[in-house]
C-alpha cells in the first residue's frame, strides 16, 4: 500500500498502536452482526421519532432521519423537543451509556410516556432501560464510539424496518459487494489529497449527514479541522467564502444518482467555482440504492481519515482532549 513513495502499511504499524485499522476493516462483518441484533424487535405507537446522541453515537441518528418514513429529528443536546408525547418513539444512543445529554433525554422521554429504544454497551443507560423496562439493544464493548457506528445504527434501522417505518429497499448484498473495494479506492483518493489541505465535504440528499460524519472523523482520527455542509444550501452562503483563507483546500463532493437534474447542475457549477478558487476536488457519486450508498460512503470516509492520520504521523485512536474535557465536566444529573 504505497502511494507516491509513502508506505501506508509500514507507517501504520508505527502510529496505530491501538490497531484501529482492524476495526475499520471489520465494518462489513459488523454490519451483518449489528443487523441481527434488531431481529424480531418492534416499536408501537410511533407517529414521530426523535434520535438522541452525542459525538460518534449521535451521528447514527442524523443518518437515520434520512431513511425513515415518519417525521423525525436528531437531537444532540440535553432536551427533547417540546412536542414529544406518547406517540413519539425516542431512540437514545450512547456507546458508553454514560453520556449525560443522552441520559437527560432518556429521563425526559420517561416523563412524557414516550416509547423508548436504548442502544448502548454499558453504563447508566443500560441500568435505566432495565429499571424502566424499556427496549434495550446491548452492543459489543471494546470499540471507540465512532468505530461502533454499525452497532449504533443498524439495530435501530432493523427495528424501524420491522415496525413498518422504513419503506425503502435495503439491499445489503449490493452494499457488501461495494464495500470490498473501498479501502483501495481510499488510497487512490489519498494520492490526490494534499497532506496539508483543509478538507471541505459537501453532501447531497441522504448523504448530507455522511458529509458531517467525514468532518468529525477528520477531527477525531486525524486531529485536524474540517468543514462540512449540505448542497444545495452551501450554494447560498459558503460559496461566497471559498475564495477566503490563503491555504490549500480540498473539496469532497458526495452525491447520489438519485439527485435531481437541478442538483446535478449545482454540483457542476460548484466544481467550476471551486476550481476558480484554486481548490482541488474529489467528486464521488454513489448508487441509487440507499444502503449501497450510505454504508460505502461511511466506510470510505473512515479509511480516508484513518490514512490521513497515518500520513500525519498521528495515532488515530486516542481523543485525549475530549476525554480531559469530559473529566473536567464531571457528571451532574
Distance separating alpha carbons of residues 68 and 117, to the nearest angstrom = 15
| Sequence-distant (≥ 6) Cβ neighbours of residue 238 within 8 angstroms | 227, 229
Which of these is catalytic: 4, 44, 173, 236? 236
Residue 120 bridge partners (DSSP): 94, 138
Instruction: Confirm whether 236 is a catalytic residue.
Output: yes
> What is the CB neighbour count within 10 angstroms for residue 181?
11
Which of these is catalytic: 183, 220, 249, 308? 220
DSSP letters, 202-243, are: EEEGGGHHHHHHHHHHIIIII----EEEEETGGGGTGGGGTT
DSSP letters, 31-79, are: HHHHHHHTTT----S-SEEEEE--HHHHHHHHHHHTT-SS-EEEE-SS-
Instruction: Confirm whether 220 is a catalytic residue.
Output: yes
Closest among 290, 303, 297, 289 to 65, alpha carbons compared: 290
Distance separating alpha carbons of residues 137 and 159, to the nearest angstrom = 10
Question: How far lies 165's CA from each of 32, 93, 162, in Å?
Answer: 20, 18, 8
Task: Write down the residue that cell numbers 502499511 correspond to.
Answer: 9
Closest among 68, 130, 59 to 95, alpha carbons compared: 59
Closest among 164, 54, 170 to 120, alpha carbons compared: 54
End-to-end CA distance of the chain: 48
> What is the CB neighbour count within 10 angstroms for residue 312?
16
| Radius of gyration in angstroms for the set of CA atoms belonging to the chain, rounded to a whole number | 20
Q: At 117, is the secondary structure helix, strand, or coil?
A: strand
Active site residues: 220, 236, 326
Amino acid at each position: 500500500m504505497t502511494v507516491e513513495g509513502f508506505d501506508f502499511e509500514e507507517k501504520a504499524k508505527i502510529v496505530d498502536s491501538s490497531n484501529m485499522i482492524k476495526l475499520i476493516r471489520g465494518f462489513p462483518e459488523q454490519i451483518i452482526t449489528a443487523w441481527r441484533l434488531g431481529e424480531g424487535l418492534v416499536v408501537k405507537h410511533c407517529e414521530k421519532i426523535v434520535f438522541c446522541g452525542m459525538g460518534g453515537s449521535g451521528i447514527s441518528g442524523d443518518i437515520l432521519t434520512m431513511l425513515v418514513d415518519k417525521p423525525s429529528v436528531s437531537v444532540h443536546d440535553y432536551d427533547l423537543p417540546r412536542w414529544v408525547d406518547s406517540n413519539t418513539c425516542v431512540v437514545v444512543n450512547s456507546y458508553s451509556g454514560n453520556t449525560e445529554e443522552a441520559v437527560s433525554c432518556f429521563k425526559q422521554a420517561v416523563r412524557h410516556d414516550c416509547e423508548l429504544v436504548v442502544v448502548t454497551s454499558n453504563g447508566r443507560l443500560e441500568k435505566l432501560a432495565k429499571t424502566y423496562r424499556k427496549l434495550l439493544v446491548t452492543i459489543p464493548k471494546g470499540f471507540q464510539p465512532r468505530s461502533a457506528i454499525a452497532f449504533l445504527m443498524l439495530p435501530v434501522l432493523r427495528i424501524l424496518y420491522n415496525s413498518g417505518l422504513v419503506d425503502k429497499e435495503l439491499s445489503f448484498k449490493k452494499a457488501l459487494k461495494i464495500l470490498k473495494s473501498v479501502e483501495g479506492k481510499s488510497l487512490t483518493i489519498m494520492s490526490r489529497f494534499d497532506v496539508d489541505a483543509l478538507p471541505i465535504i459537501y453532501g447531497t440528499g441522504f448523504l448530507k449527514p455522511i458529509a458531517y460524519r467525514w468532518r468529525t472523523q477528520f477531527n477525531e482520527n486525524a486531529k485536524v479541522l474540517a468543514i462540512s455542509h449540505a448542497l444545495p444550501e452551501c450554494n447560498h452562503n459558503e460559496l461566497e467564502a471559498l475564495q477566503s483563507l490563503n491555504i490549500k483546500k480540498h473539496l469532497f463532493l458526495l452525491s447520489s444518482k438519485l439527485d435531481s437534474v437541478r442538483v446535478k447542475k449545482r454540483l457542476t457549477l460548484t466544481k467550476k467555482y471551486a476550481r476558480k478558487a484554486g481548490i482541488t476536488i474529489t467528486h464521488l457519486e454513489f448508487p441509487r440504492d440507499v444502503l449501497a450508498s450510505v454504508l460505502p460512503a461511511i466506510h470510505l470516509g473512515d479509511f480516508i481519515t484513518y490514512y490521513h492520520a497515518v500520513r500525519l504521523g498521528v495515532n488515530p485512536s486516542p481523543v485525549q482532549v475530549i476525554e480531559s474535557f469530559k473529566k473536567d465536566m464531571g457528571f451532574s444529573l
